[in-house]
Amino acid sequence: MDAFFAQIEERENPQFKGKPIIVGADPKKGKGRGVVSTCNYIARKYGIHSALPISKAYQLSPTAVFLPVNMKFYQKVSEKIMNIIKKYSPQWEIVSLDEAYLDISFLKDYKEAENLARKLKKEILEKKKLTCTIGIGPNKLIAKMATNQAKPNGLLAIKPNQVKSFLEPLDIEKLPGIGPKTAERLREIGVNKIKELKKLSKAKLRNIFGVVGERIYERVRGIDETPVTSEEIIKSIGKEHTFEKDTKDSETIFKTFDKIIKDVHRELIDNNFNFQTITIICRFQDFETHTKSKTLKTRTNDFKILKSEAKKLLLRFLIENRKLIRLVGLRVKVV
């Protein structure tokens, strides 16, 4: 889906059409402390993007439309779209609220695949008044990369004999799995394009990045053998809080964290979910973000266990790092 949250808001509020729309925290006239969740393509022309500090987004476009995240509504829209998508193949995989894979290998050729894609795009647009982009490829990796290249509202098919010419000219950051830090290390050794990255041996990549290096070696060659699995996404429940002022005051931090724990637990109980893995998110004053996780031996929905284990993880952050804290969060993986 294209700029999913922002596009839904534009659909629901036609008066915002043609304006930059930013979904996320309250900017508070440039003094807000949260981040951008997503924005439409008009806003992106101003340099605004997901995870950008909301205060910076306000500086870049103070006249933009700033809206809060309405997650429950977005989830309902997503469910309806996914139900449309599932009709087009018995093998589907939902990745997130706005992304899914379909295995369409039952079709004869890429021409039929493109026809199916156009039909799917048309049905979503007619029924939900939302646009999407579809990428087609010999595997999930190439299909995803084709989608990224064709946005917004595009359609791009990459046949097996086109994979090499498609991949090689791209910047290394276009390859899934290569984030800013990995890209920085590669640029330090003169690697900027996928074509240049392809010249590094598997041993060299493994030496630099460990097991991840082996995956990079395969991906630059367009290799991806992971199947499309018809299972719902592994759900998680999480809450975060951005402090009005960066703080190191343990009383303030734990008081806020107690409320987060209660909110997460309430959502677990309301949905009759259990959890087994607990993850704590901590963002410091310099925007550096770290996580700590613990996986329990058995699944549970016990409040006391959640509270005890989550607080232990948070306490480690406070002990190990002297920086002021900007944000704390808790996420549990639902089982």
Give tens-digit pLDDT for 168-197. 999 999 999 898 889 999 999 999 999 999
pLDDT band, very low/low/confident/very high, at 234 (cuts 50, 70, 90): low
How far is it, in rounded angstroms, from Cα 291 to Cα 175? 24
CA 117 to chain centre: 23
Q: Phi/psi of residue 200, each to 5°?
A: -75, 135
Q: CB within 8 A of 127, min separation 6: which ones? A: 80, 84
Q: Are 206 and 213 in contact (CB under 8 A)?
A: yes
Q: Which residue among 79, 99, 225, 232 is the active-site one?
A: 99
Please check the confidence at residue 287 and state whether its pLDDT lies above 60.
Answer: yes
Checking if the pLDDT of 306 tops 70, the result is yes
Quote the CA–CA distance of 11 and 300 in Å, as a whole number.
40
Structure tokens at 213: 């290096």
The single-letter DSSP state of residue 280 is E
pLDDT(73) > 70:
yes
Amino acid in position 285:
Q
> What percent of the chain has pLDDT above 90?
84
Per-residue pLDDT at 232: 57
Determine if the pTM surpasses 0.85. no
Q: Strand 21-24: give its sheet, edge to edge.
A: 36-39, 21-24, 65-67
Question: Where residue 334 falls among pLDDT bands split at 50, 70, 90?
Answer: confident
pLDDT tier at 321, thresholds 50, 70, 90: confident
- Tokens 């939302």 sit on residue: 130
Spatial distance between the Cα atoms of 238 and 35, rounded to a whole number of angstroms: 16
Q: Is the pLDDT at 118 greater than 70, yes or no?
A: yes
| Average pLDDT rounded to a whole number, residues 8-23 | 96
Ramachandran angles phi, psi of 299, nearest 5°: -75, 150
* 193 HSE (CA, 13 A, CB side): 9
The predicted pLDDT at position 146 comes to 98
**Is there a catalytic annotation at residue 214?**
no
Name the residue type at position 164: K
Query: Cα separations (Å) of 117 from 77, 107, 121, 126, 228?
Result: 20, 12, 6, 14, 17
Kindly report the length of the chain. 335
